[in-house]
Structure 1
Amino acid sequence: MKKIIAMAVAALFTTEYLQAQESPKIKVSGYLETYYGYDFNQPANNNRPGFIYSHNRHNEVNLNLGFIKANYDNDKVRANIALMAGTYTNANLAAEPGVLKNIFEANAGIRLSEKENLWLDAGIFSSHIGFESAISKDCWVLTRNISSENTPYYESGAKLSYSTTDGKLTAVLLYLNGWQTTQPSRWQQQTCRGSTAQL
C-alpha cells in the first residue's frame, strides 16, 4: 500500500511539473468515496455477504473507492492510468495478482485515421456492460443491487471504436480477456492449451 501511495504522489508531482511546462494535454483528476455501513445481521468478521463488492464493511467508517488518474490526449495518441485503493478494490479485485488489484484504469490508444474518428485502444477499461459503475456518483442510486454487483465493473483487452463527427453514432468492436478480469480467463487458457495439444 505504501508503494502505491508513493507512486500516486510521484505521478502527481510529475504531472504538476509537466503542467507547469505548458502541457495542457495532460490532465490529473481524482475521486474519493467514504462510507459508514451497518448490517443488522451483525457479521462476526465485519464483512457483508460475499456477493457485495461496494460498501461491504459492517459498522466501520471506511474508504470504498479512492483513485488518482492521469489522462493524456494529443488527438493522435491517448492514454489513461488510474491507481485505486479501498474496500471495493479488496473485494472486487481479490482474484487479481499483486499490483493489478490497485489498477482502476490503464490503457493507451492510437488514432487510425486523420480524417475519421477511428481509434484502436488496448489495456484495462471501465466496463461497457450494465448500467452501474464502481464510481457511486455515476450510479442511479447509491445502494447497489445484486444484478448490478454481478455485472462487470471493469474489463481488459482491445477495442476498435468509431464515432461520427456529430457524436450521434458510436460503434465499438471489442476483444476481451474474459468476464471481470485483467488476464485471460481459465476457460480461454484451457481452450488454448487444448488447441495447442491437438496441433
Structure 2
Amino acid sequence: MKTIFTTLALVAGILTTSLAQTTDTTRVPAPRQAATVATPNSGLTVSGYIEAYYSYDFTAPKTAQERPVFLYNHKRNREVNVNLAFIKGAYVGERVRANLALQVGTYAQYNYAAEQDLIKNIYEANAGVKLSSKKDLWLDAGIFSSHIGFESAISKDCWTLTRSILAENSPYYLSGAKLTYTTSNGKLTLLGSVLNGWQRVTKLPGYSGPSISTQVQFRPSSKLTLNWSTFLGSDRPDSLKQGRFFNNFYAIINPTGKFGVILGFDIGSDRKPIISGDRRVGSGSYVWYSPVVIARLATSAKSYLAGRIEYYDDKNGVIVATSTPNGFQTWGYSLNYDYAILPNALFRIEGKVYNSKDAIFETTSGFGRSNTSLTTSLAISF
C-alpha cells in the first residue's frame, strides 16, 4: 500500500500540471451535500487534500494521548498530527464515472479500525454508469463518502473545525450500490442504496444483511437546502435480532451569505436484544437522538466566525457506551475562527466545551462531568 500511495503521488505531481483540477472550496467552507454529484468536464482529474492539526485537552491528564472515546476526528491529544490526507483520481465520461482516493491520517486510523488492513487506506473507490441518456440517473457501486449528515471528514468543507457529536457517531463512509436521480433543474435529489452495513466495508460477522439507506434532498434556491436521510438495517449479529432505524434531518440556510445557519437532528432506534430464545430485555427499542445548531458569520472576505450548540442523548449506550447510571447525555459548545491564508490554504482555531450528566471524562483526579479543549488546523487542497 505504501508503494501504491507513493506512485499515485508522483503521478499526481505530473498530471496536475496538465489536467483540470476540481473546484476548490477552501476559501469558502461549506457543508457537504453528499447526494449532489458535480459533473466536471469529461476526462481524468487529480486532486488532493491534507489537514494537519494540534489538539490540547485541558481536562485530561498530561499522559492522555487521545481525546474522548466518542470522537474519531482530531483524536490525538497534545501532538501535531495529520487528521486526513488523500490523493484522488476521478474519471468522468459521457455516461460513466469512477473515483479512487487513497488516504492516511488519524481519521483513517480510528474510523476504519474495524476494517481489514487493505481497506483502511481507501477513502473512496467506486464506479458508476448513467442509466439514461436523457435523465440524470446514475447507478454507482463501491465505497463512498456517506450521504448521511451535513458534515464530512474533509474539515475545510464543514462550518466548524471539529465534527459534531452526531456526525462522529453516524457513518462517514458506506459501501454497496446506490441509485441517484437529480431533476433537470437540480432542485431535487433522490437516492436509494443497498449497503453492507452501518459504516462497514466488510460485513459484521454474524450479520446477513443487507442494509438499506435513502436520501431526499430539496434545494428550492441557493439559500436553502432541506435534507432527510435514513438507514434501515442493523449493526448487530442476526442472533440478537436488533433491527436499527435511523433518521437524519438538516436544513442549511443561506450557506454562501454573510450569515448562515445549520439546523440538524438525528434520531435512531435499536430493538432491544434477545437474551434467551425469543425473550427480549423488555419490549420496545432503545432510542438515541441529537439536535445541533451551527451559526456562521463572514467577518471579512477571507474569514469566518462560527458557533455551535449541540446535545446528544444515548442513555442506553447504543452508540456511546459509558457504563454509568445515566449513560451518555452530553451538551457541547464550540466557537471557531477561520482564515483563508490563500484560496486553497485554510487556518482554523476552535475552542470546545462538553458537559455531561455523568462523570465520563478522564481528569487528573479521576473522572469529571466536563471537558475543555482547543484545536488548531491547517488545511491545504489542490
TM (norm. structure 2) is: 0.46
Distance 1:141 1:8 in 2: 30
How far did residue 13 of structure 1 move? 6.0
- Which structure exhibits the higher relative contact order, with contacts defined as CA atoms closer than 8 Å and separated by 6 or more residues? 2
Deviations 1:147-166 (A, max 9, x none): 22101110010001111221
Deviations 1:125-147 (A, max 9, x none): 11111221111112221122322
The letter for the 2-side match of 1:113 is S
**For residues 39-188 of structure 1, what are the structure 2 equivalents within 5 Å?**
39-40=57-58, 41-42=60-61, 44-186=63-205, 187-188=207-208
8 Å Cα contact 2:115-2:200 kept in structure 1: yes
Deviations 1:36-65 (A, max 9, x none): 111121353512223211111111111100
Q: Considering fraction of residues, name the structure with more helix.
A: 1
SS for the counterpart of 1:188 is coil
Greater mean deviation of Cα atoms: 94-103 or 136-145? 136-145
Deviations 1:95-151 (A, max 9, x none): 110120011110000111111111110001111112211111122211223222101
8 Å Cα contact 2:67-2:77 kept in structure 1: yes
The letter for the 1-side match of 2:122 is I
How many pairs were matched up?
A: 190
SS for the counterpart of 2:107 is helix
Higher alpha-carbon Rg: 2
Closer, same or farther: CA 12–43 of 1 in aligned 2, 3 Å: same
Distance 1:42 1:91 in 2: 21
Distance 1:24 1:162 in 2: 20
Match of 1:12 in 2: 12
How far did residue 188 of structure 1 move? 2.2
8 Å Cα contact 2:19-2:46 kept in structure 1: no
The letter for the 2-side match of 1:73 is V
Gaps of 5+ in 1: 192-199
Distance 2:18 2:42 in 1: 9
Instruction: Give RMSD over aligned pairs.
Output: 2.5
Gaps of 5+ in 2: 21-40, 210-236, 239-382
Closer, same or farther: CA 185–7 of 1 in aligned 2, 3 Å: farther
Pair 1:34-2:58 in alignment: no
SS for the counterpart of 2:170 is coil
8 Å Cα contact 1:42-1:58 kept in structure 2: no
The letter for the 1-side match of 2:2 is K
Closer, same or farther: CA 71–63 of 1 in aligned 2, 3 Å: same
Distance 2:129 2:144 in 1: 15
Distance 1:99 1:5 in 2: 12
How far did residue 80 of structure 1 move? 0.5
